Amino acid sequence: MERILIAEDEPDIRELIRLALQFNGFEVISASDGAEAVELASNNSFDLIMLDVRMPRLTGYEACRQLREMEATKEIPIIFLSAKGQEAEVDEGLEAGADRYILKPFAPFELANEIKQILAERGT
Amino acid sequence: MLQSELTIETPAPGITQFDGLSRIARQLAAGFNLDNTLKSIFVEAMAFSRADGGNISLYSESKDNFVPNHSVGGIPPETIIAPIIREAIDNQAPVIHKRLDLGRQLGSILVTPIINDGFVSGLITLYSRKPYQFGEPGTNYVAALADLASAAIVNAQLYRDTLQRERFYASLGRVTLAINATVNLPTLLTLVCKESLELFDVDGAFIWQKEDDKLIGIAAEGHARDDFIGTRVRCSDDKNLAATAANKGYGVYSNNIEQDQRFIRHFPWQARVKASLAIPLGKDEELLGVLQLVDTSRNGRFGFSDVEQATYFGAQVAIAIQNAQLLTDMSELNEQLDLRVAERTHALGEERDRVQYLLRVTSELAASLDQDRVLVRALELVNEIVNATHGSILLVDTMTGELIYPAAFETHKLPPLPRVDLGIKPEEGLAGWIIKYRSAIIIDDTSNDDRWIAQPENSELKSVMAVPLIANDEVIGVLTLFHRESHAFTQEQLELVEAAASQVANAISNSHLYILIRDQAERLGNMLREEHLEAAKNQAILESIADGVLVTDATGTVILANLSAGQILEIPHDQLNGKPVNELLGLYAATGENWIHTVEEWAHSTRREGQPQFLAERLTMEDKFVSVRLSPVFASGQFIGTVSIFRDVTQAVEVDRMKSEFVSTVSHELRTPMTSIKGYAELMIMGAAGEMSDAQKQYLDVIVGNADRMSELINDLLDISRIESGKTTLELQPVNLSQIVAQVVGEHLQGLISHEDKPIQVSTEISPTLPMVNADPDRVTQILTNLLDNAFQYTPTNGKISVTTRANGSFVTISVSDTGVGISQENQAKVFDRFFRVENSEIQQVPGTGLGLAIVRSLVEMHGGTIDVESTLGQGSTFTFTLPCVSEN
């Protein structure tokens, strides 16, 4: 079972993602901010990490940059899930090292499909 | 001496020989009588060798032969001994013939050469009638005697030369002193000739003077002296002795001038001259002449030492002549200078008087601008020089061209006659002549001059002086002076009057000008007052308005700026005036460039009415925004400047910015709750919370659909706020429109049709030669998608939608037509406004944000295109927009 780490400060949305992914057969670990996400990722192994952009303590961008610098996490696929959809914001996320940038609001089943696709690409 | 000593030692002579040699040597030492010594030598030689005859001979230069000095007895004939003598000379050694064939008998002969400096200067010839007479001792002894003879010749020559030199230089010193003391040139030349006779022991001495390319005889003494004076010869004549010397620059002589083939050009005075020597006086450019010496008694008179001495003397003479000439020139110069100083002093005095007079005329006339006073005073001043009995000034009337008579006087009858109009035609009489020929004249006697028209009242006038008055190259009148007596005026007076007349003319011209300017000034003053009033009114209006007004002339220089313009541009408005508009460039950085460049471009190109009429720009300053509207100003079709209207829009811009920021923040904040609403609803539809009934699913679908609509609204709001705040930038590139049309119609529109299950007939018409447009492909897709979304929504089932594109000049026109409900005329103007939605009961159900067309219009305009709508209610609408083609360069 693939393990997915999600970082999201908004509890409702964190729960929504967790439910949607679990429903689609993924194991989900949650973090409520960027710093916690980095800490969890460095001590555990994940198949994919999903980051919100605007989070307390450590923003999604910064967390993504740190993950990309660490040996253990630099190859793990990262998805941004954000309400910030301006071009500059999307660009910054991709430059920080993310594989996808998905805009809120999102359809949960589409999100699950997206993750499956990324993991399938990685698997081959 | 040395030679003789050696000779004495060598042959080891007997007592007799030794005695002979020492006797002769003593004689040689005692005196310089060459003849006696040679005689003794010859006698000794004859005696010792027991010769029967012989001679001792010396070489004569003039005869080019050996001439016997002493002879005893006879010698064989010339024919026999000539070859022997030749042999002795050629070998420079004694020749002895012991068996000399004399025809009937045999004899002996000994020929011994006397040698000086390698030349045979004499011969001792001894002859005996017996053969085998001269043995070796005899030959050697004679050779020793020949050496003594050689020494004697050298001594004698030396003695003679020394004596002569001593005499010469003693004389020369005296002569040089004498000639240098002589400063009068003719006296000097005569003295030189006279002294030359004695100095060189000659019969005649001549001096030629060089004049241009000739030599001219100017001084002579002795032989033919009177005939010589005035003789001429060309310097280049190489057949004349004197000319040759002048030409070559050194002394030349001929010792046999009558037969000398070099110099065949003779003069009568040269008859009987045997030898002549010519020495140039001075050298090359400074050649003064030639000194020529002649001797009528002796051929072979001159030798090298004569040339040397004469050259030396010639140099002294040349210096003396130069000195004398210099002195003569100096004294002449002095005299001339004295004369010229006196003349100049006199001329300067006259000039000073003249200048003072003219200065007075100028300053007095310039002081008055009143014409009548100028004329009267001018006549008075002019008459100070000439003392005329009558005088007048006639002026050409600029209006009628006739002559008028504004001033005149008669001696002792001043003040003048009143101004009268004579009605004289300018071409008549003396005045007419003066005007026509523009020159001043004096008539000495009026009774015999055609130009003078005699009349009863002027019959008493005999002399006339008339001068034209010329100002600015135009004859403005004639000044005339009269006298009762004939020949009263002089040429000098005329010149001075002419000079004064030009001042008078200027003064008259100035007073004309003054009147002209005074009238003009008065007229202008009145006009100015009226205009000032008018301007004050306009100014008051201009200053009271809040908008800034700035006017430039055709060159782009600010000529008017009101108070508000100064305040808005933050430059004191009085400092704006006169400034070239490009000096304001720094104020608005890049945002002002377009405005300023347009002003300049208009200024530098010839503009016609009908070209783009204005430019609207927004300028950004440090803390404010200014909108400017720039228009060209034309007067009778001619571009004469620009008017810019400025308005401070800082507040409006700030409000706009705050609104955009607000929209951006709110939109973002809305997305988070929307995510939860939509997400959880979908989660439930998926069955994540357990199985849903159909009704539950249907209600959840409504929630999701409205959440999507809200997301769209948020996206549109963000789009429009970004576009309006200028944050959206285009990534322009050459775009193939037909591809985009095909894609949007084929995927998006057909997708909608099948998704909504609403059949609509779609047609696209794309010109095959459609050029590429310069556009951002994503934005073009967005524009088309929006327009087609609208068309789809407002077109009923089985309606028609068509897309057509075609090239139109430098633009491509894209039209989207539908057969929908249409838009009323009234609403057509509003459809592109934000949040405008047509109030229509029939289309209540059509979802939309009311922002789509506003975004479309903004995007089209950002590309530089335009968008329009045509519509008829109930029949359909056509939206048409344009995009610029890729420019060829």
Q: How far apart are CA A37 and CA A15, in angstroms?
A: 16
Q: Per-residue pLDDT averaged across B648-664, rounded?
A: 80
B807 DSSP 8-state letter: E
Mutation for testing the B interface, residue in A6, A15, A16 having most B CBs under 10 Å: A16
Higher pLDDT, B143 or B366: B143
- Quick check: B447 pLDDT over 90? no
Q: What is the pLDDT of residue A88?
A: 78
Longest dimension (CA), chain B: 196
Give tens-digit pLDDT for B762-797: 888 888 788 888 888 888 998 998 888 888 888 888
Q: Per-residue pLDDT averaged across B363-388, rounded?
A: 76
B68-72, B130-134, B281-285, B404-408: the lowest-pLDDT one:
B404-408
Across the interface, of A13, A84, A109, the residue whose CB is closest to B676 is A13
B247 half-sphere exposure, CB direction, 13 A CA radius: 14
- Quick check: B557 pLDDT over 60? yes
- pTM, full prediction: 0.40
Q: Minimal Cα–Cα distance from B654 to chain A, Å?
A: 22
Helix %, strand %, coil % of chain B (to 5): 50, 25, 25
- 3-class secondary structure, B506: helix
Residue A5 — pLDDT band, cuts 50, 70, 90?
very high
The arrangement of strands across the sheet holding B204-211 comes to B232-234, B214-222, B204-211, B289-295, B275-281, B252-254
Chain A residue at shortest CA distance from B669: A83
Closest CA to B278 of B166, B213, B196, B222: B196
Chain B from 690 to 729: CB within 8 A of any A CB: 707, 711, 715, 718, 722
Q: Write out the DSSP string of A62-76.
A: HHHHHHHHSTTTTTS
Q: Which helix (H) or strand (E) holds B36?
A: helix B34-49
Across the interface, of A16, A83, A86, the residue whose CB is closest to B679 is A16
B409-412 contacts at long range (C-beta below 8 A, 24 or more positions apart): B409/B376, B409/B379, B409/B380, B409/B383
Count other C-beta atoms under 10 Å from residue A8's C-beta: 23
Q: How far apart are CA B709 and CA B712, in angstroms?
A: 5
Q: Per-residue pLDDT averaged across B612-631, rounded?
A: 73
The arrangement of strands across the sheet holding B625-635 comes to B558-561, B548-553, B638-648, B625-635, B615-620
Cβ atoms B798, B858 nearer than 8 A: no
Q: How far apart are CA B764 and CA B760, in angstroms?
A: 13
Across the interface, of B668, B686, B707, the residue whose CB is closest to A83 is B668
Written as six digits, the tokens of B633 are: 């100003």
Q: Write out the DSSP string of B110-167.
A: EEEEEEETTEEEEEEEEEESSTT---HHHHHHHHHHHHHHHHHHHHHHHHHHHHHHHH
B203 DSSP 8-state letter: S
- Quick check: B195 pLDDT over 90? no
Residue B426 — pLDDT band, cuts 50, 70, 90?
low
* Helix runs in B230-370, H state only: 241-248, 304-366
Q: How far apart are CA B465 and CA B472, in angstroms?
A: 23
- 3-class secondary structure, B784: helix
Give tens-digit pLDDT for B728-772: 778 888 888 888 888 888 888 888 888 888 888 888 888 878 888
- 3-class secondary structure, A88: helix
CA distances from B567 to B535, B543, B588, B616 (A): 22, 11, 15, 20
Q: How far apart are CA B681 and CA B698, in angstroms?
A: 11
Q: Minimal Cα–Cα distance from B621 to chain A, Å?
A: 27
Residues of B in contact with A108 (CB under 8 A): 679, 682-683, 686, 688
Please provide residue B482's backbone torsions phi and psi, each rounded to the nearest 5 degrees.
-125, 155
Mutation for testing the B interface, residue in A19, A91, A110 having most B CBs under 10 Å: A19
Across the interface, of A10, A83, A108, the residue whose CB is closest to B683 is A108
Q: What is the pLDDT of residue A50?
A: 94
Give tens-digit pLDDT for B452-479: 776 666 677 888 888 888 888 888 888 8
B297 DSSP 8-state letter: S
Count A/B contacts: CB-CB distance under 8 Å: 57
Q: How far apart are CA A27 and CA B731, in angstroms?
A: 42
Q: What is the pLDDT of residue B809?
A: 83
Cβ atoms B127, B75 nearer than 8 A: yes
Q: Per-residue pLDDT averaged across B111-128, rounded?
A: 88
Q: How far apart are CA B631 and CA B735, in angstroms?
A: 35
Q: How far apart are CA A105 and CA B644, in angstroms?
A: 49
Q: What is the pLDDT of residue A48?
A: 93
CA distances from B328 to B185, B192, B288, B331, B335 (A): 8, 18, 15, 5, 11
Cβ atoms B776, B736 nearer than 8 A: no
Q: How far apart are CA B358 and CA B366, in angstroms?
A: 12
Residue B428 — pLDDT band, cuts 50, 70, 90?
low
Cβ atoms B98, B131 nearer than 8 A: yes
- Quick check: B549 pLDDT over 80? yes
B683 in contact with A at a CB cutoff of 8 Å? yes
Q: What is the pLDDT of residue A65?
A: 92
- 3-class secondary structure, B217: strand
Bridge partners (DSSP) listed for residue B403 = B396, B424
Q: CB–CB of A84 and B668 under 8 A?
A: yes
Q: Per-residue pLDDT averaged across B717-726, rounded?
A: 78
On the 0-12 / 13-18 / 19+ scale of CB atoms within 10 A, B856 is buried
Residues of B in contact with A109 (CB under 8 A): 682, 686
On the 0-12 / 13-18 / 19+ scale of CB atoms within 10 A, B578 is exposed
Give tens-digit pLDDT for A13-72: 999 999 989 988 899 999 999 999 999 998 899 999 999 988 888 899 999 999 999 888
Give tens-digit pLDDT for B60-73: 877 778 888 888 88
Q: What is the pLDDT of residue B270?
A: 77
Residue B848 — pLDDT band, cuts 50, 70, 90?
low
Q: Minimal Cα–Cα distance from B679 to chain A, Å?
A: 6
Q: What is the pLDDT of residue A28?
A: 93
Across the interface, of A19, A83, A104, the residue whose CB is closest to B683 is A19
Closest CA to B776 of B854, B884, B853, B857: B884
* Helix runs in B182-292, H state only: 185-200, 225-228, 241-248
CA triple B10-B11-B16, angle to 5 deg: 125
Q: How far apart are CA A115 and CA A49, in angstroms?
A: 10
Count other C-beta atoms under 10 Å from residue B318's C-beta: 20
Give tens-digit pLDDT for B673-709: 888 898 899 888 888 888 888 888 888 888 888 888 8
B439 DSSP 8-state letter: -
- Sorted by sequence, the CB contacts under 8 Å of residue B392 that are 6+ apart come out as B379, B405, B407, B408, B409, B479, B480, B482
- Quick check: B210 pLDDT over 90? no
Question: Which of the given ranges, A48-62, B241-255, B400-414, B478-492, has the highest pLDDT on average?
Answer: A48-62
Q: How far apart are CA B386 and CA B501, in angstroms?
A: 13
B367 in contact with A at a CB cutoff of 8 Å? no
Cα B674 from chain centre: 87
CA distances from B14 to B9, B10, B205 (A): 11, 12, 58
Q: What was the ipTM of the complex prediction?
A: 0.86
Q: CB–CB of A16 and B683 under 8 A?
A: yes
- Mean confidence (pLDDT) of chain B: 81
Written as six digits, the tokens of B599 are: 């002003």
